[in-house]
């Protein structure tokens, strides 16, 4: 059974955490660790709280999509540098963890579902970039091909999440 987000239930689940877990970042919250959860009927480990946390953080990333779009466009238009995009992603993750720990919740918009999964695809590509074409193997891409892949994902992001 797929869970349906319920803000009251999410708050209730967060309030049942022991104080030690409320006061330190939970290891299971970040999107990068949870990207496989969105397409399953049951979230990993059948944990309702993990799933709600995932939806909440996904929504926060979606709320910042315009800034992400600008940063991705810079990667496509200028020199490939993921520093600012990674920094933005990490800041949103930290803010989301802070909000969750302090029981400050937002109702995720249904339009946000899956946004962070697509965004994470771009973030994970940074290790596939090979600046010198002669040294690229089958697993890494030269600049032109790399930008083409990023652009395809970016186009999907903009179409699905205007």
Report yes or no on 68 lying in a domain: yes
Mean pLDDT of 98-108: 92
Count of structural domains within the chain: 1
How large is the greatest C-alpha to C-alpha distance in the chain, in angstroms?
Answer: 56
Q: Is 129 helix (H, G, I), strand (E, B) or coil?
A: strand
Task: Tell me if 74 is assigned to some domain.
Answer: yes
Question: By percentage, how much of the chain surpasses pLDDT 90?
Answer: 30
Q: Examine residue 2 and state whether it is found in any structural domain, yes or no.
A: no
Contact 112, 63 (CB under 8 A): yes
Distance CA 28, CA 31 (A): 9
Which residue range is the domain that position 68 belongs to? 7-160
Model confidence, pTM: 0.74
The tens digit of pLDDT for each residue in 16-54 reads 877 645 444 444 444 555 444 443 343 333 478 988 999
pLDDT of residue 19: 61
Q: What is the mean pLDDT of the chain?
A: 80
Distance, in Å, from the CA atom of 68 to the CA atom of 62, rounded to the nearest integer, reads 9
Within a domain: residue 87?
Answer: yes
Query: Is residue 70 assigned to a domain?
Result: yes
Residue 162's pLDDT is 77
What pLDDT was estimated at residue 23?
46
Of 41, 25, 22, 24, nearest in space to 33 by CA: 25
């Amino acid at each position: 059974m797929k869970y349906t987000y319920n803000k009251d239930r999410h708050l209730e689940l967060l309030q049942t955490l022991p104080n030690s877990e409320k006061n330190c970042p939970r290891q299971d919250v970040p999107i990068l660790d949870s990207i496989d959860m969105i397409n399953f009927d049951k979230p990993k480990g059948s944990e309702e709280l993990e799933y709600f946390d995932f939806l909440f953080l996904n929504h926060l990333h979606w709320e910042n999509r315009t800034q992400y779009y600008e940063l991705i466009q810079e990667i496509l238009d200028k020199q490939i540098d993921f520093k600012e995009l990674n920094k933005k992603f990490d800041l949103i993750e930290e803010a989301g963890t802070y909000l969750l720990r302090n029981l400050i919740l937002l109702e995720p918009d249904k339009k946000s579902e899956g946004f962070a999964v697509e965004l994470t695809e771009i973030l994970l590509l940074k290790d596939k970039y090979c600046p010198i074409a002669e040294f690229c193997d089958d697993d890494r891409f030269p600049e032109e091909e790399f930008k083409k892949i990023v652009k395809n994902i970016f186009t999907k992001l903009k179409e699905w999440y205007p």
